[in-house]
Amino acid sequence: MYIKKSIVFLSLAALAFQSCSKLDTPPSDYIDPTKAFRNLDDLNLGVLGAYAPLSSTLIEAVAVVSDEAMLPTENTVSNTSAHRWLYNSSSGSVTSAFYEYYVAIDRANRVLEAVPNIPASGSQSRLDQYHGEMLALKAYAHFELLRAYASSYEPDGLGVPYMKERKLGYPPRETVKSNFDNINADLKAAKDLIPSGFSDNSRITKTAISAIQARVALYEKKWSDAIAYASEVIASEPLAAKNDFGKIWKDESQAEVVWKLARGIGDSRIGAAFFRETGEIVLYAPSFKLIDLFGTTAQRGDDVRFSSYIRYAPTRPAGKSQYLVDKYVGGNPSYQGLTAVKLFRTGEMYLIRAEAELEANGSAGITAAAKDLNDLRRGRIYNYIDQTFTDKQSLLNAIYNERFKELAFEGHRFFDLKRRNLPVERTTQDAINTSGAIKLNPTAAQYCFPIPADEMAVNKGMIQNPNY
């Protein structure tokens, strides 16, 4: 596919920006990778360019459409259709991520195409690192597309086109199984290439690949793989100490941050999705459903996550939300909402391993799964007393509730419900401004994000998700 009327499509030439008069006419203004990349320094610039399109768009969309955020009456300035589940294939709030990830994939493929022609110049490990990073980035981007746009997570579900290379045409949707196979193959190859000593967590390291593999295995229900990969991350990157946990979100500590999207002045601010400085307007507040999971006022005080994620501001004027999402406020008051986007943390790995242990071994796995859950809670909660579980379902429910708390506003809740084929249900208190959007059933079209209308119009090989 190509560019038409400045719209970006799947096999976008990432460096080409002018429109083509015919869809079947190859663009003449793209940069040939064999000429753009001449040495390792050029290749590194290409690698950085491939990371650049990654954003927090999908994280923000998941918060808005799930039950982890509520729409306060003071928000009269933002588009609220996504929160009310009124989105369709023309709604940028849920479709823009589709293009962002395919742009990253296209750029990664350009670097990969150039790799065989770049002289190692005495630094084969550096060339291997760039090669591995791009394979892993391509796999990660396809997996995020799969999470958002698959018709289901079952093997025969409609997945997404897997762009193994730059290719002109009309790529069709593959099955979910086919997507998983390609993702796993690219991650395995990448892991063999990236040097163990490479530790920049603003890029993909070997440990970051283990984290991606653990998350992929969880969705694929490959429980033994999920246990193994999560264990690799836990062994490499311990949980943050309680007194360091809050510093993570202000970029004052790198504890347990496996992979992040670094953000600087001038970059987009993830915190802006929840709070607008002009007029001090809360756009989306933490849901009371989420707040209540943290327990009583005393229990909230003991849990370092509550004060790190949520701010209680009882002095705000009448009609204003007294609860604010504080997770992404950042550490610089002059640039409120500017902070690195944490894509993978060790806390998630404990929960992946706990769920996998339970699913792999049933009642026999209760002890190991409960230990991981209790270990995580003990690392987050002062005065915590280990909880005992006697049956699989109650422990599974506890793990999912812990995921709700631990990973709040990190882009998981909507997909966690989808993994279990459960509806999105808001409490009455959280639905005061939703125009009746209280329960989203798995049979509803909006239970899956739609393929963008522009893609449907141009790609004759594309199939839309059900009911749109």
Q: Where are the domains of the chain?
A: 33-261+272-328+343-458
| Tens-place pLDDT, residues 169-226 | 899 999 999 999 999 999 999 999 999 999 999 999 999 999 999 999 999 999 999 9
Q: Are 268 and 286 in contact (CB under 8 A)?
A: no
Model pLDDT, residue 362: 83
Q: How many helices (H) and strands (E) does the chain have?
A: 17, 10
Q: State what percent of residues in the chain have pLDDT above 70.
A: 93
Rounded CA gap, 357 and 287, in Å? 30
Q: Worst-scoring range by mean pLDDT, 30-34, 217-221, 441-445?
A: 30-34
Q: Are 394 and 257 in contact (CB under 8 A)?
A: no
Interacting residues of 388 by C-beta distance below 8 A, sequence separation 6+: 370
Model pLDDT, residue 31: 56
| Tens-place pLDDT, residues 296-323 | 999 999 999 999 999 999 999 998 999 9
Strand partners, 324: 311
1 versus 140: the higher-pLDDT residue is: 140
> What average pLDDT does this structure show over 63-70?
97
Q: State what percent of residues in the chain have pLDDT above 90.
A: 88
| Tens-place pLDDT, residues 327-340 | 999 999 999 999 99
Exposed, middle or buried, 334 (CB in 10 Å: 0-12/13-18/19+)?
Answer: exposed
pLDDT for 10 beyond 80:
no
The pTM of the full predicted model, rounded to 2 decimals, is 0.93
> What average pLDDT does this structure show over 15-43?
59
| Tens-place pLDDT, residues 77-128 | 888 999 999 999 999 999 999 999 999 999 999 999 999 999 998 899 999 9
Strand partners, 257: 345
pLDDT band at 279 (very low <50, low <70, confident <90, very high): confident
Q: Are 93 and 39 in contact (CB under 8 A)?
A: no
17 versus 254: the higher-pLDDT residue is: 254
pLDDT band at 152 (very low <50, low <70, confident <90, very high): very high
- State the greatest distance between any 2 C-alpha atoms of the chain, in Å, as a whole number: 67
pLDDT band at 30 (very low <50, low <70, confident <90, very high): low
pLDDT band at 25 (very low <50, low <70, confident <90, very high): very low
DSSP letter assigned to residue 7: B
Phi–psi pair at 412, nearest 5 degrees:
-125, -30
Q: Which two tokens stand for residue 213?
A: 């593999």
pLDDT for 371 beyond 70:
yes
Model pLDDT, residue 8: 38
Is CATH 3.30.70.20 the right assignment for the domain spanning 33-261+272-328+343-458?
Answer: no
